Amino acid sequence: MRSALVLNATYEPLSVVPAFRAVCLVLADKADLIADDGHLLHSERMAIPSPSVVRLRYVVKVPYARRTAMSRRALFARDNYSCQYCGGFADSLDHVVPRSRGGQHTWENVAAACRPCNLRKRDRTPAEANMWLARPPRAPREQAWITAAVTLVP
């Protein structure tokens, strides 16, 4: 299913919605089409470009700063799909402080790792395994959820 980025009237990113919802916003004159993905959506009487970015015509107040949800996709995007121990291609997650030792499943305790490094580290801390992280894990920037959610925005 295609998705579209919804921008506030001030061009701040608000959310990612299905393309069908974005078309409804445009047809109801609640949003302007900023960019389309090149595909057409057909109805009985018209053909509409499938939106990839729409801008609302009014300002929506955002009462809180959105924190990026923890997911594999978002974590690999944060670490650029590279192992934080050796720099190779990362295909697994590693808890810096193992969960068996009280480590939490949070942004600050999870890093991308390749399978060999993850197996070598086992149930130990990086210091005990004599393996060091390329950079300390941290929560992503405020708007990093967009990178995790949007796959095609021109």
pTM over 0.85: no
Per-residue pLDDT of 34-78, as tens digits, reads 998 888 988 889 898 999 999 999 998 877 666 677 889 889 988
- C-alpha span between 117 and 141 (Å, rounded): 26
Q: Which two tokens stand for residue 35?
A: 């960019």
Q: What is the pLDDT of residues 89-132, one digit of tens each?
A: 999 999 999 999 999 999 999 999 999 999 999 999 999 999 99
Q: Phi and psi (nearest 5°) for 109?
A: -125, 0
Structure confidence at residue 139 (pLDDT): 87
Contact 87, 104 (CB under 8 A): no
How many CA atoms lie within 13 Å of 107's alpha carbon, on the beta-carbon side? 17
Radius of gyration of the chain measured on its C-alpha atoms = 20
